[in-house]
Amino acid sequence: MSQSTLTRRVQRLEQQVGAPLLFRDPSGVAGPTAAGARFAAEAPAILDAARAARAAALAYRGLTVRLGVPGPVGDFPERRHLAEVARQLSERHPDVRLLCRSVPLAATHACLVDGYVDVVWGALSPAPPAVEISPLLELERIAVVPAEHDLAEARQVRAADLADRPLLYIPTVAPGLMSPFVLGDVRPVSQARLVESNSKDSRSFIRSLHPGQAAVIGASAWPARLVKPGLRDLRILDLPRIPMYAGKRRADRREPVRSLVAVLPKVVARMRLNVWDPEPADIDLGLHPHRAPVTGEQ
């Protein structure tokens, strides 16, 4: 820059600081004043903070936060609820875009750890050390059976009615995570009659049922008969609910990610969590797609 431009900038800086920063004599600038020397010692921290603030702002410009949901996007939670999540996140962070990704039941924690998603809806406990979980919802366990099953006409059963019958399970899911779904809290899993399934989500899981088999799942808002004609939902009377969590990487401190975790329980409070609960009629889920687009990947 020209000398005159530099002079004007220094003078403006001195006006902002409120003290002369440079000695001047007829030959020009002789050196820093005591105030100037002190200011020069402190200025690098100010510049570093300014650079960090700028970098943070640029990092959030157009940031996409990825939410992992079990099964196909829009299955559970439904798309209208995901749109509400996006709307509430947009209110807090207008420049942040929500991307929903399908994650397999067997890899909800792994998808977080490897960075495929930033937050998982419905993580289970226990979680690996790298994953931080917070309470999200509790799901009632229900049994799904084909029409030919001898319990098909029962609307409700007890866990003991199912414990010694063939139960579907997913061998790729960690035993600790699969245990509630094979009634491991009723009798030792080693005594269960387990039938392997290679399914990756609840719908394909119950769709693979054959006569004589049953599947225990976390209750969903859609009846099993909509997945496959003839399937029946049976309420299990004496089982505790399964706690589900919102999960994030413990090291991820980004504010939009933390906000997304905080938003999820608020949306859950507005949801019907199983086929027997009535849909809340007094709450408008206002989708506002122009304000809060939600994108899904299968």
248 shares its domain with 234: no
122 shares its domain with 261: yes
The CATH number linked to 225 is 3.40.190
124 vs 131: CA distance, rounded Å: 11
The pLDDT tens digits for 7-57 are 889 889 989 999 999 888 887 787 899 999 999 999 998 888 888 877 766
145 shares its domain with 118: no
Domain membership of residue 53 (yes or no) is: no
Closest by CA to 81, choosing from 226, 223, 265, is 265
Domain membership of residue 38 (yes or no) is: no
Domain membership of residue 15 (yes or no) is: no
Q: Could you tell me the two tokens for 11?
A: 């003078």
Domain membership of residue 114 (yes or no) is: yes
pLDDT band at residue 292 using 50, 70 and 90 as cut-offs: very low
Strands 28-32 and 294-297: unpaired
Domain membership of residue 106 (yes or no) is: yes
The CATH number linked to 272 is 3.40.190.10
112 shares its domain with 154: no
Percent of the chain residues topping a pLDDT of 90: 58
Under 8 Å between Cβ of 83 and 91:
no
115 shares its domain with 249: yes
Specify the DSSP element, H or E, that contains 127: none
- Is-cis flag, bond preceding 126, omega within 30? yes
149 shares its domain with 203: yes
134 shares its domain with 249: yes
| pLDDT at position 146 | 97
The pLDDT tens digits for 45-67 are 888 888 887 776 666 556 899 99
Domain hosting 273: range is 64-138+243-277+286-297
Domain membership of residue 165 (yes or no) is: yes
Domain membership of residue 208 (yes or no) is: yes
| Total domains in the fold of the chain | 2
199 shares its domain with 264: no
Backbone angles phi and psi of 30, in degrees to 5 = -95, -20
174 vs 162: CA distance, rounded Å: 22
248 shares its domain with 128: yes
Domain membership of residue 3 (yes or no) is: no
209 shares its domain with 69: no
Backbone angles phi and psi of 95, in degrees to 5 = -90, 0
pLDDT band at residue 108 using 50, 70 and 90 as cut-offs: confident
For 9, counting Cβ atoms within 10 Å of its Cβ (0-12 exposed, 13-18 middle, 19+ buried), the class is: exposed
192 shares its domain with 147: yes
